[in-house]
C-alpha cells in the first residue's frame, strides 16, 4: 500500500492532483453540465488519451510523434467497424441491393463483406483489435525507425507522412472503409442503443475511468527504472547505449504504449460521438494532440488532460463566435507556450501554484478555529 502511495500516486502532491482531477471529471462535470455538454466533454477527454501518450513519448522520451492521430484513428475505426456491422443487419439494410453489408459498400457496388471486416463481427475481437492493431503498427514503424537510429525531426516528419498516407488510403478506399465521410450511422452495441442519454452518461464514465487508469499506468512506467531511462535517453542517448542498453527496444516499447493509449481514446471517441472519419486521423488532429500536450505540460500526465480540456473548451467557445480567428489563436497559443512556458500549464502551476496553496493555508487557519476541548468531546460523543 505504501509502495502504491509513493510510487504510483507520487506521494502527497501527486495524489492530491489525481484526486482533484478525478473529482472534476467524475463529479463536477456530470453535476453541472447538461447531457449535451457532458457528451462534449467526453469527446474532449478522448483527445486527452493521445495527449497523455505524448507526455510519455515526447515529454519524457524526447520522441516527437506528429502521427498520434494514426493510432487514435486505428482504435476509432476498429470500434466503428464493429458498430457498423451491427447497424447493417439484413433487416436494417433490406432496401440495399446486397442486404447485410454496410451501406457505403453497397453504394460502391461491393456485393460481399471484405475479409478484413469479418472478424469485427465479434466484440471481443474488436476490443482486442483496438489495442493490438495499433501496437503492431507502432511496432513495425518503431522497429523500422529506431533500429536505424532515425530520431528527432526526421522521426517527426515520418510520423506525419504516415498520418497523410493513412488519410489518403481511407479517403481513396470508399468501398472498403467508408472514404471521406467515414463510418457513420452507428446505432447499437449488442442491441443496446448507444445514442440515448443513458448510454452517453455510461460511456462518459467509462471514458473517465479508463483515462484515470492510463494515468496510473503512465505513472507506473515513469516511476520505474524505465522512466529514468527515458529521461536519460532524451539527455544523452549515447551514454545509455554505452551503458549496455539496446536503446531501440526502449523507444519501440514506449512508442507502442503511446499508440495503445491513443487507440483507446479513439475507440471511446467512436462510442461517444457515434462516428469515425479520416478528419480525426490526419495531420491537423495529430498536431492538435501535440498542442494539447504542450499547453497542458509535456512533463505532466495530469497537465496534458487539462490541456486537452482547455484547448477544446476554447475551440468550441471561440469557433462558435470567431470561426476564422480560432486557428490563428491556437497557433499563437502554441508558440507562446513553447517560447515562454516550455512546461505548459503544469509548469506554471509548479512555479507559481504555491502562491495559491499558501493563501489557502492562511485562509484555513483563519476559518478553521481549533475547537475547545468541550466541543471536541461533544463531537466525539
Three-state secondary-structure class, residue 157: helix
Nearest-approach distance from CB 225 to other proteins, in angstroms: 4
Instruction: Report the DSSP beta bridge partners of residue 193.
Output: 188
Residues 246-265 that bind other proteins (CB under 8 A): 246-247, 249-250, 253
Q: Should residue 58 be labelled a site residue for other proteins when binding is judged by CB under 8 A?
A: no
Question: 277 vs 22, 166, 167, 182, 368, CA distance in Å?
Answer: 30, 12, 9, 4, 54
The 137-176 site mask, x for binding other proteins (CB under 8 A), equals: ----------------------------------------
Considering only 35, 232, 310, 338, the residue that binds other proteins (CB under 8 A) is 232
Nearest-approach distance from CB 248 to other proteins, in angstroms: 10
Nearest to 276 by CA among 133, 106, 150, 130: 130
Helix, strand, coil % (nearest 5) of the chain?
A: 75, 0, 20
Toward other proteins, which CB reaches closer, 196 or 228? 228
The 273-302 site mask, x for binding other proteins (CB under 8 A), equals: ------------------------------
Terminal Cα-to-Cα distance of the chain (whole angstroms): 32
From 16-24, 79-87, 224-232, 366-374, give the range in contact with other proteins by CB under 8 A: 224-232
Toward other proteins, which CB reaches closer, 80 or 258? 258
C-alpha span between 313 and 209 (Å, rounded): 21
Enter the C-alpha cell of residue 43.
469527446
Nearest-approach distance from CB 324 to other proteins, in angstroms: 41
Q: Should residue 194 be labelled a site residue for other proteins when binding is judged by CB under 8 A?
A: no
Nearest-approach distance from CB 301 to other proteins, in angstroms: 17
Considering only 239, 354, 359, 361, the residue that binds other proteins (CB under 8 A) is 239
Nearest to 262 by CA among 59, 77, 18: 77
| Residue 274 near residue 267 (C-beta atoms within 8 A) | no
Q: Should residue 238 be labelled a site residue for other proteins when binding is judged by CB under 8 A?
A: yes
Name the DSSP class of 190. Answer: T
Question: 5 vs 15, 182, 216, 220, 380, CA distance in Å?
Answer: 8, 44, 11, 11, 29
Q: Should residue 241 be labelled a site residue for other proteins when binding is judged by CB under 8 A?
A: yes
Tell me which residues touch other proteins (CB under 8 A). Answer: 220-221, 224-226, 228-229, 231-232, 234-236, 238-247, 249-250, 253
Amino acid at each position: 500500500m505504501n509502495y502504491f502511495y509513493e510510487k504510483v500516486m507520487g506521494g502527497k502532491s501527486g495524489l492530491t492532483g489525481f484526486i482533484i482531477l478525478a473529482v472534476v471529471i467524475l463529479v463536477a462535470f456530470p453535476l453541472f453540465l447538461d447531457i449535451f455538454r457532458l457528451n462534449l466533454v467526453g469527446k474532449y477527454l478522448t483527445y486527452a488519451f493521445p495527449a497523455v501518450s505524448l507526455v510519455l513519448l515526447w515529454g519524457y522520451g524526447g520522441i516527437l510523434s506528429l502521427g498520434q492521430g494514426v493510432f487514435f484513428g486505428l482504435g476509432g475505426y476498429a470500434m466503428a467497424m464493429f458498430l457498423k456491422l451491427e447497424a447493417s443487419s439484413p433487416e436494417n439494410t433490406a432496401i440495399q441491393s446486397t442486404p447485410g453489408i454496410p451501406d457505403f459498400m453497397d453504394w460502391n457496388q461491393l456485393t460481399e463483406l471484405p475479409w478484413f471486416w469479418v472478424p469485427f463481427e465479434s466484440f471481443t475481437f474488436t476490443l482486442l483489435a483496438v489495442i493490438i492493431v495499433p501496437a503492431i503498427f507502432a511496432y513495425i514503424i518503431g522497429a523500422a525507425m529506431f533500429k536505424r537510429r532515425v530520431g528527432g525531426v526526421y522521426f517527426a516528419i515520418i510520423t506525419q507522412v504516415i498520418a497523410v498516407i493513412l488519410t489518403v488510403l481511407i479517403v481513396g478506399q470508399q468501398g472498403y472503409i467508408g472514404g471521406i465521410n467515414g463510418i457513420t450511422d452507428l446505432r447499437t452495441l449488442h442491441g443496446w442503443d448507444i445514442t440515448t442519454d443513458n448510454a452517453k452518461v455510461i460511456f462518459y464514465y467509462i471514458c473517465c475511468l479508463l483515462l484515470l487508469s492510463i494515468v496510473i499506468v503512465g505513472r507506473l512506467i515513469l516511476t520505474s527504472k524505465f522512466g529514468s531511462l527515458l529521461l536519460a535517453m532524451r539527455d544523452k542517448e549515447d551514454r545509455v547505449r554505452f551503458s549496455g542498453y539496446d536503446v531501440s527496444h526502449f523507444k519501440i516499447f514506449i512508442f507502442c504504449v503511446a499508440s495503445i493509449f491513443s487507440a483507446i481514446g479513439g475507440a471511446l471517441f467512436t462510442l461517444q460521438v457515434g462516428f469515425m472519419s479520416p478528419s480525426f486521423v490526419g495531420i491537423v488532429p495529430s498536431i492538435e494532440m501535440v498542442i494539447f500536450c504542450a499547453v497542458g505540460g509535456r512533463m505532466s500526465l495530469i497537465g496534458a488532460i487539462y490541456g486537452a480540456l482547455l484547448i477544446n473548451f476554447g475551440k468550441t467557445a471561440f469557433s462558435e463566435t470567431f470561426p476564422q480567428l480560432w486557428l490563428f489563436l491556437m497557433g499563437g497559443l502554441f508558440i507562446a507556450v513553447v517560447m515562454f512556458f516550455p512546461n505548459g500549464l503544469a509548469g506554471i502551476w509548479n512555479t507559481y501554484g504555491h502562491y495559491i496553496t499558501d493563501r489557502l493555508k492562511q485562509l484555513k487557519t483563519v476559518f478553521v478555529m481549533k475547537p475547545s476541548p468541550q466541543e471536541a468531546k461533544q463531537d466525539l460523543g
